[in-house]
């Protein structure tokens, strides 16, 4: 016959100790998993932000680099134009307006005269600017859509959204020197290079620092600028 002492189960204190140890272990595991999930979410949002910024840079760079194509300053010397529309309301650190004679209609950027530049086709007069209300980069083309055969009307489209800011910096090249003047907040007739910077604010992730940003910048060379043409 077994003694009663050998048949007794766990005491209440032993059960409480075991439960406490298990709860502590579960707490540690859940904390580690939560941090791992937060890091994964942060990295995912960072990758999305980089892709967004890269897409914005690619779209703008393509048209900005074509600025000035087929345009010259006058019909006599035919000095190449960089195609940037000057003026504080046209091109500055927050927006840029560029023109190109893509369809070879016209010639000079001055009027009047038979060689006056005629820009009335899609992609020949484009403005990029940042819309803080929608947090997006907007592209405006006064002749972006064909409303009827041979007639074009304005088109406004969002290039990419979830952007925090867009900045344009301008670099001028005077004469034959390779030393640039800049960065400048406004372009000039001598501007031959533009730095485009896109800032994307990441969505808040639980357990991660607030207000994290991804900044992506790219230098765009205006290959139709007079200075750049003389380098080839």
Q: What share of the chain is helix, strand, coil (3-state, %, to 5)?
A: 25, 30, 40
Give a yes or no: residue 102 inside a domain: yes
Query: Could you tell me the mean pLDDT of each successive run of 10 residues in the chain, 232 residues long?
Result: 57 79 81 71 69 81 90 75 91 94 70 60 92 90 88 89 89 81 92 91 64 82 82 64
H/E element, 5: helix 4-7
How many Cβ atoms from other residues are within 10 Å of residue 5's Cβ?
A: 6
Give a yes or no: residue 12 inside a domain: no
Give a yes or no: residue 2 inside a domain: no
Residue 6 C-alpha from the chain's centroid: 76
Say how many residues make up the chain.
232
Terminal C-alpha separation, the chain: 107
Q: Quote the number of domains for the chain.
A: 1
Give a yes or no: residue 158 inside a domain: yes
Q: Are 71 and 101 in contact (CB under 8 A)?
A: yes
pLDDT tens for 100-149 read 988 877 656 665 444 556 788 889 999 999 998 888 899 999 989 988 88
Dist CA 70 CA 151 (whole Å): 22
Q: Which domain holds residue 203?
A: 46-229
Dist CA 127 CA 95 (whole Å): 7
């Amino acid at each position: 016959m077994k003694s009663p002492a050998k048949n007794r189960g766990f005491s209440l204190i032993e059960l409480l100790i075991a439960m406490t140890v298990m709860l502590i272990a579960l707490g540690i595991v859940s904390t580690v998993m939560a941090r791992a999930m937060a890091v994964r979410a942060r990295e995912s949002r960072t990758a999305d932000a980089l892709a967004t910024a890269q897409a914005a840079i690619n779209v703008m760079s393509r048209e900005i680099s074509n600025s000035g194509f087929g345009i010259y300053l006058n019909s006599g010397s035919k000095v190449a134009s960089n195609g940037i529309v000057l003026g504080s309301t046209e091109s500055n650190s927050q927006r840029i307006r560029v023109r190109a004679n893509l369809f070879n209609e016209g010639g000079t950027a001055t009027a009047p005269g038979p060689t006056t530049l005629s820009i009335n086709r899609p992609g020949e007069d484009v403005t990029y600017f940042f819309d803080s209300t929608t947090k997006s980069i907007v592209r405006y083309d006064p002749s972006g859509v064909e409303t009827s055969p041979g007639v074009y009307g304005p088109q406004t489209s969002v290039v990419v959204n979830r952007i925090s800011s867009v900045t344009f910096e301008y670099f001028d090249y005077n004469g034959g020197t390779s030393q640039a003047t800049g960065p400048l907040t406004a372009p000039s007739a001598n501007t031959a290079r533009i730095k485009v910077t896109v800032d994307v604010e990441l969505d808040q992730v639980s357990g991660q620092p607030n207000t994290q940003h991804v900044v992506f910048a790219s230098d765009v060379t205006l290959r139709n600028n007079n200075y750049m043409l003389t380098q080839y």
